[in-house]
Structure 1
Amino acid sequence: MQPSAALTPSTNPAPFRGARLVIEIPSDPAVARKARDWLAAPLRSEHPGLTDDVLLCLSEVVTNAHRHTSTPVITIDALLDETYVDVRVHDDRADALPEPAGLQLADEGGRGLLLLDACADAWGVAFPRGRRPYGKTVWFRLAVRPERAPALNPGRSPREPGEPEEPREPGEPATR
């Protein structure tokens, strides 16, 4: 698994048309939750079909920055474009590069980069100003595609759920 070399955080497929959000969050055990909470509402508004995947990737990258660096503050820069979502997570440790862990089946952790690689269309590592002394940025991008649109039940609004079904007899199949 290698970061995507074709895309860098500064390479956009088209002129940027969307929202840019930036936050600095103290690096503490709650940093991943704070990052998800910060980005969730704008994502649900702009790209509901990408929300879960983007928040999972964000959580993994921010958690890695917290666990594997001593950076006091993590900076997150999110671009919510019409055609993609691009997220950059900056810390001050250029020497702590993300590498997949050698995993054992029973391990409970160490799968963050595998999840990032599986969910993101592209990801990589960049160094601000092209030089390592200024820390690093781990970035990822997810494209907006029709197959990522949220599934809605035709005829029902997500805010108006249907009536609950009557209880079934044992062995009776469910109806939809």
Structure 2
Amino acid sequence: MSTKVKSPKDSFTIMNELVLPNDTNTLNNLMGGRLLHWMDIAAAISAQKHCNRIVVTASVDNVSFKQPIKLGDVITIEAKVTRSFNTSVEVRLDVWAENIPSGSRVKSNEAYYTFVAVDQSGRTIPVPELKPETEEEIELFAGALRRRQLRLILSGKMLPNDAIELKALFFKE
């Protein structure tokens, strides 16, 4: 495995999909499950670019649907790694819906997915370090530790008292 330090731009992925009739519900809106499927694919590609390994989805943070996505819209999913840990990476996704004939484009979703890198036997393996470069990347990198602690608390893998980064948001030492 390469121990090369990587930048978020190394994992940047753009995926486009056209919303077809088979992707919609009876209101001609994109089904949420179909969007989550596409988001998982885009995020996995981004994570694999960073890790140069097979990755498996470990968690999906809250995904809120801000705008309905209509039949005929073009979906653009942008994904990039925001932080790497020992054997896992956090990937941020931004989802845009574009109606090409009208020229309208709206942000419909954003989310964080976590992936774990595995070898051919399915055992976890270390991932390359991530070095943020832009102000936005530095901010996302810093926030990733708090998001990770919240995920671990919600999954029962960390006690709230051990979440030092989260506690620092609410309590002065």
TM norm structure 1: 0.38
The structure in which a higher percent of residues are strand is 2
Larger Rg: 1
TM norm structure 2: 0.39
